[in-house]
Amino acid sequence: MTTRTEGEGDAALIEGFADLVSVFERGAKPKACWRIGTEHEKFVFRLADRRAPGYDEPGGIRDLLLAFTGYGWQPVEETGKVIALKGADGAISLEPAGQLELSGAPLQTIHETCAEVGRHLRQCLEVGEELGLGFLGLGFHPTATRAELPLMPKGRYAIMRSHMPRVGRLGLDMMLRTCTTQVNLDYASEADMVRKFRVGLALQPVATALFANSPFTEGRPNGYKSFRAHVWTDTDPARTGMLPFVFDAGFGFERYAEYALDVPMYFVYRDGRYIDAAGQSFRDFLAGRLPALPGERPTLGDWKDHLSTAFPEVRMKSFLEMRGADGGPQSRICALPAFWVGLLYDEAALDAAWDLVKGWSMEAREALRHAAARHGLSAPVPGGGTMQALALQVLEIAEAGLRARARLSASGENEAGFLAPMWEMARSGSTLADRHLEAYAGDWGGDITPIFEAARF
């Protein structure tokens, strides 16, 4: 989730609806300026007993964050506690139960992205060795109950923890027990945003299936290949899902702003603290009638904060976020941006991807989302066939898009090489979730403990 930052102009009061839309309009960039931002989370555990460490305990999360300062990262504090770090490779931040996230810098190529991932993971392993900590690449915590997980000292998380049970059964699981990998991508114009948003939403279940890596809950199989994806189906319907209106005629920046206005608020940030506004209306805030801050009107920074509290499968800020994949090992972290860049950053690939999905109904898209979470690559798809066959088609388009981009490494390698683990899984029909389940039923003898070694970075 987002660590709050102050941007230029964020203190300006919102004067009207055009100011809300301007955040999206200013995101439009010429193709030469398009960048790739990759975010990836991992579970932190003590090597000695596989327990998730607390914030304040010796060798815990606070000490972990401080250890990164030895690599030039600069601490970010909230109420006197270090809750994030900033550096040349972006930001390191905490999820609600101490999951560690790198929000990578905006980079030009997948080669740069994968190098960034490698630097971060090397640092994790080095500081982990000093502190007796390991890092786990899965989409859902394989053993811990909610009660066994620590809570991090971030004000927005306290508000969310209180609100989540009012609106869904699995919101606390989303906060405490999930990890994801995300990719942030640019658009050239409103029309370009619409095309990418539609393709991204329609094909998000393909990413969910290919990257499925969360088949266990509290030490046992849970019946899903991506339980993390299932969790999002019962978290908060007002701020999650497949956004049917994106496929309506006339969709654009203004329609997304209207959607975001109708997403209930969580908080307002003032004077270094988060004020609880859970369930209140940003429309009332615009009119100076917010119960949490009567008489005050929002700033542009308040609007940006609010945009970060919507969690659809694709989210717009001043860029588009692809949000459908489980956390996983390094090769998969590098593969996800390759998958989406190949599909969305080449015109011919984007056209081919849209041709593949444009005839699907909203009901079919929603059914595919649910089927991907439960069945992975064996899920049925609209029009017949399986997710495995669809994934092979989509990977072919993505690879063509990456080859057309022709962004080569210093040794002359194309970005398409990063899709190799996805090709292997799509051809075999076996995801990481399938392989963990096979090991659990076979070599592990029904004991979940070996996953802490098998899925460890």
pLDDT-based confidence at residue 6 (cuts at 50, 70, 90): low
For tokens 């266990």, name the residue: 216
Q: How are beta strands 311-312 and 240-241 bridged, if at all? A: parallel
Structure tokens at 342: 């190949």
Average pLDDT of the residues of the chain: 97
Task: Report pLDDT for 8.
Answer: 72
Question: Residue 220 and residue 129: Cα distance in Å, rounded?
Answer: 29
Is 360's pLDDT higher than 60?
Answer: yes
Nearest by Cα to 446 from 225, 221, 223, 226: 221
Predicted confidence (pLDDT) per residue in 221-232, tens digit: 999 999 999 999
Please tell me the number of Cα atoms within 13 Å of 372 on its side-chain side: 32
In this prediction, residue 223 carries a pLDDT of 98
pLDDT(206) > 90: yes
Q: 406: phi > 0 → left, psi -120 to 50 → alpha, else beta; which?
A: left
Give me the pLDDT at residue 2, please. 58
Question: Tens of pLDDT along 96-145?
Answer: 999 999 999 999 999 999 999 999 999 999 999 999 999 999 999 999 99
Percent of the chain scored above 90 by pLDDT?
98
pLDDT greater than 80 at residue 356: yes
pLDDT at 3 over 80: no
Give the tens place of pLDDT for each residue, 418-433: 999 999 999 999 999 9
Contact of 234 with 168, CB cutoff 8 Å: yes
Per-domain residue ranges of the chain: 17-454
Q: Is 288 helix (H, G, I), strand (E, B) or coil?
A: coil
User: CATH for 17-454, among 3.10.350.10, 3.40.470.10, 3.30.590.20, 3.40.50.300?
Assistant: 3.30.590.20
The percentage of residues in the chain with a pLDDT greater than 70, rounded to a whole number, is 98
pLDDT band at 383 (very low <50, low <70, confident <90, very high): confident
* pTM for this entry: 0.97
User: Which of these, 39, 2, 35, 97, lies nearest to 327 by C-alpha position?
Assistant: 39
Q: Residue 186 — very low, low, confident or very high, per pLDDT cuts 50/70/90?
A: very high
Instruction: For the chain, give the longest Cα–Cα distance.
Output: 64
Which pLDDT score is estimated for 261?
98
Question: Is the pLDDT assigned to residue 233 strictly greater than 70?
Answer: yes
